[in-house]
């Protein structure tokens, strides 16, 4: 009985934490960007402007939720749900501490890859169902981008899996007791970070929405809470990718003195900050340049990394 | 004023009996009347076979002569077409005029000689109702297709109050909206290719990547651009028409808003032209003040361009940095003029006020602050590898193409030609300054960017020299047509008091004549061609704005690229919609 209660508490806790962080990032990103851009950002509502999040949520809930008459209604409504749900579902496998994780899947890494590919459907469907040319172009870019980056996102993690000898995220963390995987798997980390950017449609790989070219890309036609779900969905995937980087390459909850949960959060936030810093700094490559980078540089790099890791793991056995 | 070398060239080619006549004007541009049927051969000769040819069609416009009184020495004409050509080799212009008779006359199109004439002829048709035979697609360009009348004709009202009450009925809304629908066939585009149907994408008039209200109609195959049709006119405010009802003095604020990022620099082109007409000499101090302000506005405009180009390419931060710096420039402008973006501060014969006490300290502080910032932007933007990948080899044009299409300013210089009006024809006192003309080599987006960035450094150099050499003396001429006259003198002599009273309450009476003044503005060459009929208004004011031909050129350099490249091209061409549409 108490097991069930504990499980339920974990689910609610992780869900609440995920949503709070994602919503909080709306404020956090704006403040951080502002800091780097010599301005203030939202600082009026509540202490440090923190209540801006609440104001934004109220605004987004009360806005007119318009479905264009020319859109494919059912798919149009479904698409943001897919993005949002996929973002949330990955949180289930994140090992926050040795004891706290919603589920401990022995195929955790595969689960993450599967669910994050599902999220891509949401974007493509949104672009398609909007029946708008800008959305369509955004959706097309998303499809191409996902195809490219899914391939070596998976492959980039296989080095980690090989060394740890498991797909289970908890075991992967435990395997980093002596050495964080960011050292032996440096190239894996590099590629995974880039693929993560593309996965989350974050600048500089935000081509499906690239505002200066496609207005807002696949979500041009969305408003109100449906847009809000894309918006928060983006922050969910940033959080997930950051948490995964922390887990897979930087020892997850491992760390001296401080309790494990603090270490986990701390590492995650550093990477989230990294995502935001990227956005504050870099211009956006062209769509074909992004593809070329993926197929011509990152994929061979990943394969090479895999080959060498495999050889070393075999030799060490 | 004689016709100069070019008249002799023409007489030698076409014989003395060909009916050419020289018209006296108040500027240095030889103005030659040519019979209607000789226009095309004359232009062909001047462009192709004349010694040191006139290869750039700098401007093409018309004059409604029907109400003009002072036309001494000019042939009979109801409407006059004016072709303004520029020769880079001679560093000289020529103005070819031809007389047209009748209420709605027709002329031969010169698009087969100068392809750049395409838009200019459309504009003349739109504004004057003059038809051009042989024009590939003669349709309205600035006014909406549903417009009735041709605004720059003298009988067309200049104020809304002279027209009937405006009503926007439901049918009218439908009609206007229907008129905006794009029909690819009208532009000679096929709706489908061999294997696929093309996508026609409306980029604008309200799009974050196009910097204002302009529409680009794209014919796309996937994301590849097969053709582009720019549609302009959304920002048309009839500045040229307003010049005909504002006095010479009260038109100055309108010029600020033509290239609205150029502020006072627009005033300069206008007042220089008026001063040529009026024969006013400007005191040295006023000249240096004007140049200092103009260079500040060049910096301000380039800073906007820098930030927005980076933003177009996806870099979010530079725009905030450059706008902060621009704010510092505006602080100085505000201390000097009291205004910020549009101070309307230059006057016929000088500037509005003397410099305030302590201006030099503000300028000094800025000169100390800015170079480090520019270095930082170089690292953030110009040296960024993604930025280079997005701009190098994109939107390329050759020097010949640039000249052919009337490209001036940083665009022309990015092809390696150091043509800058401040150096070639030092106007308004630029001859006393030391500065370099930065040039590019490849004529691509990246070179256009580097040329502008380097120009900002040169502007700083000029401003520094202004601070050092700022001469003492009056800030406004004592000429009776300097408007308004120097206030201190009005209390001492009755003549100045009368001049003050008349030119402020009524307007300065500028002697009849024609004059053109061109300056190196922020976007390219900006010029005012003013005609006075001896009144307080311009009889005709032609604003030669650089952005107009630059936008006409966009399709040429965009075909075969993708949407993302078009955005880079638009950012690098650096246009302002008010400057395109006027």
Domain definitions of chain A by residue range: 69-316
pLDDT at position B3, please? 52
pLDDT surpasses 50 at B40: yes
Contact at 8 Å (CB) between A272 and A196? no
pLDDT surpasses 80 at B397: yes
- Flag residues of chain A having pLDDT under 50: none
Q: What phi-psi label fits residue A38: left (phi over 0), alpha (psi between -120 and 50 degrees) or beta?
A: left
The residues, any chain, with a CB within 8 Å of residue B480's CB and separated by 6 or more, are B495, B496, B499
Average pLDDT in the B364-380 region?
91
Among B201, B311, B320, select the one facing A39 at the smallest CB separation: B320
pLDDT surpasses 80 at B322: yes
Strand partners, B476: B350
Residues of B in contact with A282 (CB under 8 A): 314-315, 384, 386
Q: What is the DSSP string of B537-572?
A: BEEEEEEE-THHHHHHHHHHHHTTSBHHHHHHHHHH
CA pair distance B410, B388, nearest whole angstrom: 18
CB distance A286–B209 less than 8 Å?
no
pLDDT at position B2, please? 46
The residues, any chain, with a CB within 8 Å of residue B433's CB and separated by 6 or more, are B291, B461, B462, B465, B466
pLDDT at position B453, please? 92
Strand partners, B566: none
pLDDT surpasses 50 at B119: yes
Among A133, A280, A282, select the one facing B386 at the smallest CB separation: A282
> pLDDT category, B1, cuts 50, 70, 90?
very low
Strand partners, B133: B108
CA pair distance B219, B196, nearest whole angstrom: 12
Average pLDDT in the B430-449 region?
89
pLDDT at position B499, please? 80
pLDDT higher for A184 or B276? B276
CA pair distance B388, B377, nearest whole angstrom: 14
Distances (CA, A) of B433 to B282, B351, B410, B452: 17, 20, 19, 19
pLDDT at position B462, please? 92
Average pLDDT in the B15-31 region?
79
* Percentage of residues of chain B with pLDDT beyond 90: 28
DSSP letter, residue A299: H
Strand partners, B22: B32
pLDDT at position B27, please? 81
Question: How many angstroms away from the CA of B563 is the closest CA of chain A?
Answer: 7
- The full set of domains in chain B, from first to last, is 4-133 (3.30.460.80), 239-581 (1.10.645.10)
Among B311, B381, B386, select the one facing A204 at the smallest CB separation: B386
pLDDT digits (tens, 9 = 90+) for B207-246: 877 788 888 888 888 788 888 888 888 889 889 999 998 8
The sheet with strand B224-231 has its strands ordered as B199-203, B215-221, B224-231
Contact at 8 Å (CB) between B423 and B437? yes
pLDDT surpasses 60 at B325: yes
CA pair distance B147, B578, nearest whole angstrom: 20
Q: Which among B214, B254, B260 is positioned nearest to B238, based on CA atoms? A: B254
- CB distance from B381 to chain A under 8 Å? yes
The overall longest dimension of chain A from CA atoms, in Å, is 63
Token couple for A253: 């909850």
Residues of A in contact with B315 (CB under 8 A): 281-284
pLDDT at position B211, please? 80
The pairing of beta strand B131-133 with beta strand B106-108: parallel
CA pair distance A246, A305, nearest whole angstrom: 20
Q: What φ, ψ does residue B513 adopt, rounded to 5°?
A: 155, 180
Q: Which among A72, A97, A111 is positioned nearest to A13, based on CA atoms? A: A97
The rounded mean pLDDT for chain B is 88
Question: How many angstroms away from the CA of A133 is the closest CA of chain B?
Answer: 7
Distances (CA, A) of B114 to B41, B46, B106, B329: 12, 11, 18, 40
pLDDT digits (tens, 9 = 90+) for B121-133: 999 999 999 999 8
Residues of A in contact with B384 (CB under 8 A): 282-283
Average pLDDT in the B278-298 region?
91
pLDDT digits (tens, 9 = 90+) for B51-78: 888 889 999 999 998 888 888 878 888 8
pLDDT at position B4, please? 63
Residues of B in contact with A290 (CB under 8 A): none
Q: Which residue of A has its CA nearest to B209?
A: A212
CB distance A215–B389 less than 8 Å?
no
User: CA torsion angle for B67, B72, B76, B78 (degrees, to 10)?
Assistant: -20
Residues 562-581 of chain B with CB under 8 A from chain A are 562-565, 567
Beta strands in B211-308 (DSSP E): 215-221, 224-231
Task: Determine which of A138, A142, A286 to mutate to test the interface with B (most B C-beta atoms within 10 Å).
Answer: A286
pLDDT at position A148, please? 81
In this structure, is the dihedral angle defined by the CA atoms of residues B152, B157, B161 and B167, taken in order, positive or negative? negative
DSSP letter, residue B507: -
CB distance A213–B201 less than 8 Å?
no
Token couple for A272: 């989230």
CB distance A36–B317 less than 8 Å?
yes
ipTM given for this complex: 0.83
The residues, any chain, with a CB within 8 Å of residue B73's CB and separated by 6 or more, are B21, B23, B24
Other Cβ atoms less than 10 A from the Cβ of A138: the count is 29
pLDDT surpasses 60 at B348: yes
CA pair distance B172, B433, nearest whole angstrom: 56
């Amino acid at each position: 009985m108490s097991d069930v209660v504990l499980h339920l508490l974990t689910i609610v806790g992780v869900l609440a934490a995920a949503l709070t962080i994602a919503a909080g990032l709306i404020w956090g990103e704006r403040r951080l960007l502002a800091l780097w851009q010599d301005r203030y950002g939202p600082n009026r509502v509540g202490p440090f402007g923190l209540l801006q999040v609440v104001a934004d949520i109220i605004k987004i809930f009360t806005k007119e939720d318009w479905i264009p008459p020319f859109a494919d209604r059912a798919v149009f409504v479904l698409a943001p749900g897919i993005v949002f749900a996929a973002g949330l579902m990955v949180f289930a496998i994140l090992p926050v501490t040795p004891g706290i994780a919603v589920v401990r899947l022995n195929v955790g890494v595969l689960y993450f890859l599967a669910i994050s590919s599902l999220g891509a459907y949401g974007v493509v469907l949104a672009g398609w169902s909007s029946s708008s040319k800008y959305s369509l172009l955004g959706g097309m870019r998303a499809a191409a981008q996902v195809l490219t980056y899914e391939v070596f996102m998976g492959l980039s993690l296989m080095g980690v899996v090989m060394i740890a000898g498991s797909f289970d995220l908890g075991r992967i963390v435990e395997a980093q007791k002596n050495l964080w995987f960011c050292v032996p798997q440096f190239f894996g980390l590099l590629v995974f970070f880039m693929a993560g950017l593309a996965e989350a449609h974050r600048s500089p790989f935000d081509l499906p929405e690239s505002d200066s070219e496609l207005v807002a890309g696949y979500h041009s036609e969305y408003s109100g809470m449906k847009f809000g779900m894309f918006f928060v969905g983006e922050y969910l995937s940033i959080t997930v990718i950051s948490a995964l980087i922390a887990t897979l390459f930087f020892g997850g909850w491992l760390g001296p003195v401080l309790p494990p949960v603090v270490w986990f959060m701390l590492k995650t936030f550093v990477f989230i900050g990294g995502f935001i810093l990227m956005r504050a700094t870099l211009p956006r490559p062209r769509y074909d340049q992004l593809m070329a980078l993926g197929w011509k540089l990152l994929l061979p790099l990943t394969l090479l990394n895999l080959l060498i890791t495999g050889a070393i793991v075999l030799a060490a056995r | 004023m004689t016709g100069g070398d070019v008249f002799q060239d023409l007489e030698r080619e076409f014989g003395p009996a060909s009916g050419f006549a020289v018209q006296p004007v108040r500027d240095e541009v030889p103005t030659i009347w040519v019979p209607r049927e000789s226009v095309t051969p004359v232009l062909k000769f001047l462009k192709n076979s004349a010694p040191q040819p006139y290869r750039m069609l700098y401007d093409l416009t018309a004059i409604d002569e029907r109400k003009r009184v002072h036309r001494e020495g000019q042939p009979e004409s109801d409407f006059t077409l004016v072709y303004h050509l520029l020769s880079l080799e001679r560093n000289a212009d020529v103005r070819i005029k031809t007389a047209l008779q009748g209420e709605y006359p027709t002329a031969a199109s010169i698009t087969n000689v100068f392809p750049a004439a395409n838009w200019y002829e459309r504009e003349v048709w739109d504004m004057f109702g003059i038809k051009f035979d042989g024009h590939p697609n003669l349709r309205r360009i600035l006014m909406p297709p549903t417009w009735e009348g041709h605004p720059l004709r003298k009988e067309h009202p200049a104020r809304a109050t002279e027209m009937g009450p405006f009503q926007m009925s439901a049918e009218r809304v439908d009609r206007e909206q229907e008129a905006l629908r794009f029909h690819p066939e009208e532009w000679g585009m096929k709706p489908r290719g061999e294997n696929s149907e093309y996508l026609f994408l409306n980029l604008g008039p309200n799009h974050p990547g196009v910097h204002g209200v302009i529409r680009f109609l794209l014919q796309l195959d996937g994301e590849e651009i097969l053709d582009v049709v720019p549609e302009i006119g959304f920002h048309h405010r009839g500045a040229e028409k307003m010049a005909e009802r504002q006095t010479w003095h009260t038109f100055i604020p309108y010029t600020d808003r033509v290239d609205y990022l150029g502020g006072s620099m627009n005033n300069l082109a206008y007042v220089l032209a008026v001063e040529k007409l009026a024969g006013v000499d400007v005191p040295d101090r006023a000249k240096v003040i004007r140049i200092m302000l103009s260079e500040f506005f060049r910096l301000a405009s380039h800073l906007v361009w820098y930030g927005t180009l980076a933003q177009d390419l996806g870099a979010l931060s530079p725009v905030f940095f450059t706008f902060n710096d621009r704010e510092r420039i505006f602080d100085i402008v505000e201390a000097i003029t009291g205004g910020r973006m549009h101070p309307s501060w230059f006057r016929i014969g000088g500037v509005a006020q003397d410099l305030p006490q302590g201006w030099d300290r503000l300028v000094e502080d800025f000169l100390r602050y800015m170079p480090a910032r520019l270095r930082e932007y170089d690292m953030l933007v110009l040296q960024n590898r993604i930025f280079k990948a997005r701009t190098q080899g994109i939107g390329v044009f050759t020097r010949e193409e640039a000249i052919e299409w009337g490209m001036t300013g940083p665009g022309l210089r990015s092809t390696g030609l150091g043509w800058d009006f401040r150096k070639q024809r030092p106007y308004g006192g630029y001859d006393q300054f030391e500065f370099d003309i930065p040039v590019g080599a490849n004529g691509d987006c990246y070179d256009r960017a580097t040329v502008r960035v380097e120009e900002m450094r040169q502007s700083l150099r000029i401003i520094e020299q202004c601070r050092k050499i700022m001469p003492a003396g009056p800030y406004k001429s004592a000429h009776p047509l300097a408007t308004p006259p120097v206030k201190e003198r009005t209390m001492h002599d009755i003549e100045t008091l009368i001049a003050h009273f008349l030119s402020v309450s009524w307007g300065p009476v500028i002697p009849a004549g024609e004059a053109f003044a061109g300056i190196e503005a922020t976007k390219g060459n900006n010029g005012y061609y003013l005609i006075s009929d001896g009144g307080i208004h311009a009889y005709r004011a032609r604003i030669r704005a650089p952005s107009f031909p630059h936008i006409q050129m966009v399709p040429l350099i965009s075909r075969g690229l993708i949407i993302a490249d078009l955005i880079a091209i638009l950012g690098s061409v650096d246009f302002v919609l008010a400057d395109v549409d006027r």
